[in-house]
């Protein structure tokens, strides 16, 4: 019998049955997909998305210690990823003022952090540091004291005045009325250290912790406490953070026992 011989009523009934039969498997598929897209919040690959992705702007002198600290934090806080951007504190401050997307900031001095009060939460000092004279391995020029850096025959490199370690360097030199004419002024303490490592400078003023990262490449000449400067490292959340809660948790963690042990092991002093 052809479809044309069906009465109108029967034709509608058959059409309804066929349509329902087609919709049943489609509905079942839709149900399965719905379950896959909800519930645990898993991604298409089956892995859970990270709870937070943090970007931390940190002073160059924290490079080694914070690389270790970041790995430790991620291990203790599964699902949280921490990415660091290391540079001179003055460069980090410029990034913050320009609106760079980041969640927290750690500088090598309180002066830089204080200049960003409108952009940060309340800072907390997490570590301290001291300066040393970095020389070529074996100290071939026999540099023993800050006053030796005034020798015009020496190639001395310092950080630029706007860099925290550069300000500390000039403070301790000025206090003893030592005039040093650097062959270059670098944008970060790591750049100063690199000049000495490569033999492009006979000596440079760096943090004790930075000199410790180049064993077998540079020697560190201690500077007596009475002639030295104490560098303080404040940490704070950034008000523009899109992960405010996670950023605050990380900054708080930096003052806790796990992070403090990492900083002590790297040579930083207690806050």
3-state SS class at 24 = helix
| Tens-digit pLDDT profile for residues 242-253 | 999 999 999 999
214 found inside a domain: yes
- Contact 98/90 with Cβ under 8 angstroms? no
185 found inside a domain: yes
**52 beta partners:** 80
Whether residues 104 and 120 fall in one domain: yes
pLDDT of residue 51: 79
Kindly tell me if the per-residue pLDDT of 141 is higher than 70.
Answer: yes
Whether residues 237 and 222 fall in one domain: no
* 108 φ/ψ angles, rounded to the nearest 5 degrees: -95, 10
Whether residues 198 and 209 fall in one domain: yes
- HEC assignment per residue over 78-140: CCEEEEEEEECHHHHHHHHHCCCCCCEEECCCHHHHHCCCCCECCCEEEEEEEEEEEEECCCC
How far CA 181 is from CA of 88, 218, 235, in Å, comes to 21, 21, 33
pLDDT of residue 106: 98
Alpha helices of the chain — where are they, by DSSP H? 8-37, 63-76, 89-97, 110-114, 164-175, 189-197, 208-211, 244-253, 257-265
Confidence of residue 78 (pLDDT cuts 50, 70, 90): very high
Query: Domain tally for the chain?
Result: 2
Q: Count other Cβ atoms within 10 Å, centred on residue 132.
A: 22
Kindly tell me if the per-residue pLDDT of 59 is higher than 90.
Answer: yes
Q: Residue 91's domain is classified under what CATH number?
A: 3.40.190.10
Give the pLDDT mean for 126-153: 97
Give the pLDDT mean for 32-49: 39
Whether residues 196 and 209 fall in one domain: yes
160 found inside a domain: yes
| Tens-digit pLDDT profile for residues 193-225 | 999 999 999 999 999 999 999 999 999 999 999
Kindly tell me if the per-residue pLDDT of 170 is higher than 80.
Answer: yes
13 found inside a domain: no
Kindly tell me if the per-residue pLDDT of 26 is higher than 80.
Answer: no
Task: Give 56's DSSP letter.
Answer: E
Q: Which of 121, 97, 109, 96 is nearest to 59 (CA)?
A: 109
Q: Count other Cβ atoms within 10 Å, centred on residue 229.
A: 20
Kindly tell me if the per-residue pLDDT of 73 is higher than 80.
Answer: yes
Give the pLDDT mean for 175-191: 97
- Contact 265/91 with Cβ under 8 angstroms? no
- Give me the domain span that covers residue 134: 130-230
22 found inside a domain: no
Spatial separation of the C-alpha atoms in residues 246 and 251, rounded to whole Å: 9
Confidence of residue 50 (pLDDT cuts 50, 70, 90): low
């Amino acid at each position: 019998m052809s479809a044309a011989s069906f009465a109108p009523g029967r034709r509608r009934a058959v059409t309804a049955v066929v349509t329902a039969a087609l919709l049943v498997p489609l509905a079942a598929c839709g149900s399965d997909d719905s379950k896959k897209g909800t519930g645990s919040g898993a991604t298409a690959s089956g892995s859970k998305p990270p709870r937070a992705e943090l970007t931390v702007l940190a002073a160059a002198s924290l490079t080694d210690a914070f690389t270790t600290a970041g790995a430790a934090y991620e291990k203790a806080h599964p699902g949280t990823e921490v990415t660091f951007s290391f540079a001179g504190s003055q460069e980090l401050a410029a990034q913050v003022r320009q609106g760079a997307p980041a969640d927290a900031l750690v500088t090598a001095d309180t002066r830089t952090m204080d200049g960003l009060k409108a952009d940060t939460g309340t800072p907390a000092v997490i570590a301290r540091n001291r300066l040393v004279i970095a020389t070529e391995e074996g100290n071939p020029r026999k540099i023993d004291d800050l006053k030796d850096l005034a020798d015009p025959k020496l190639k001395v490199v310092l950080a630029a005045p706007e860099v925290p370690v550069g300000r500390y360097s000039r403070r301790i030199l000025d206090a003893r009325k030592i005039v040093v004419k650097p062959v270059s002024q670098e944008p970060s303490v790591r750049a100063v250290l690199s000049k000495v490592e490569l033999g492009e400078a006979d000596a440079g003023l760096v943090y004790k912790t930075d000199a410790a990262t180049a064993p077998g490449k540079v020697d560190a000449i201690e500077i007596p406490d009475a002639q030295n400067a104490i560098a303080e490292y404040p940490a704070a959340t950034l008000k523009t953070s899109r992960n405010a809660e996670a950023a605050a948790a990380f900054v708080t963690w930096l003052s806790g026992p796990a992070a403090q042990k990492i900083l002590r092991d790297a040579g930083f002093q207690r806050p």
